[in-house]
Amino acid sequence: MKRREIIALLGGGAVGLLLATRGQADATRRIGALIAFAKDDPETEERLTGFQQGLAKRGWVEGRNIHIDYRFAAGRADRFPVLAKELVALQPDVILGHTPGAIHALQRETRTIPIVFVNVSDPIGLGFIASLPRPGGNITGVLHYEATIIGKWLAMLREIAPHLTRAALLANPKVSSYQYFLRSAEAMAPSLGIELTDSPVQTAADIERAIEELARRPNNSLIFPPDASTIVHRDLIVALAARHRLPAVYALKTFVVAGGLMSYGTDQNDLFRLAASYVDRILRGDKPADLPVQAPTRFETTVNLKTAKALGLDVPAHLLVAADEVIE
Which residues make Cβ contacts (< 8 Å) with residue 284, sequence separation at least 6? none
The pLDDT value given to residue 216 = 96
For residue 132, pLDDT beyond 70: yes
Length of the chain in terms of residues written: 328
Order of all β-strands in the sheet with 94-98: 66-72, 29-35, 94-98, 115-120, 139-143
Contact 300, 325 (CB under 8 A): yes
Task: Using the Cα atoms of residue 176, residue 50, residue 250 and residue 235 in order, give the sign of their dihedral.
Answer: negative
For residue 6, pLDDT beyond 70: no
Q: Which residues pair with 325 in a beta bridge?
A: 302
Three-class SS state of 68: strand
User: What is the pLDDT confidence band of residue 5, given thresholds at 50, 70 and 90?
Assistant: very low
Which DSSP letter does residue 189 get? G
Q: What is the mean pLDDT of residues 239-261?
A: 97
- Lowest mean pLDDT across 11-15, 17-21, 192-196: 17-21
The pLDDT value given to residue 139 = 98
Residue 321 identity (one-letter amino acid): V
For residue 244, pLDDT beyond 60: yes
pLDDT tens sequence across 263-319: 999 999 999 999 999 999 999 999 999 999 999 989 999 999 999 999 999 999 999
pLDDT tens sequence across 137-173: 999 999 999 999 999 999 999 999 999 999 999 999 8
Q: How many helices (H) and strands (E) does the chain have?
A: 13, 12
Domains of the chain with bracketed CATH: 29-145+267-297 (3.40.50.2300), 149-266+300-327 (3.40.50.2300)
pLDDT tens sequence across 210-222: 999 999 999 999 9
Q: What are phi and psi of 66, to 5 degrees?
A: -135, 155
- Lowest mean pLDDT across 37-41, 78-82, 117-121: 37-41
Q: Which residues pair with 198 in a beta bridge?
A: 169
> In degrees to the nearest 10, what's the CA dihedral of 300, 116, 44, 109?
-140
The pLDDT value given to residue 15 = 41
The pLDDT value given to residue 87 = 98
Strand blocks (E) in the chain: 29-35, 66-72, 94-98, 115-120, 139-143, 166-171, 195-200, 222-224, 248-250, 262-266, 299-304, 325-327
CA distances from 274 to 116, 139, 263 (A): 10, 15, 22
Candidate ranges 2-11, 12-21, 173-182; pick with highest mean pLDDT: 173-182
pTM of the full predicted structure? Answer: 0.87
274: part of which helix (H) or strand (E)?
A: helix 268-283
The pLDDT value given to residue 21 = 40
Residue 228 identity (one-letter amino acid): A
CA distances from 326 to 53, 221, 256, 297 (A): 27, 21, 10, 21
Give 181's Cβ-side CA count (13 Å radius). Answer: 31
Three-class SS state of 61: coil
Q: What is the mean pLDDT of the chain?
A: 91
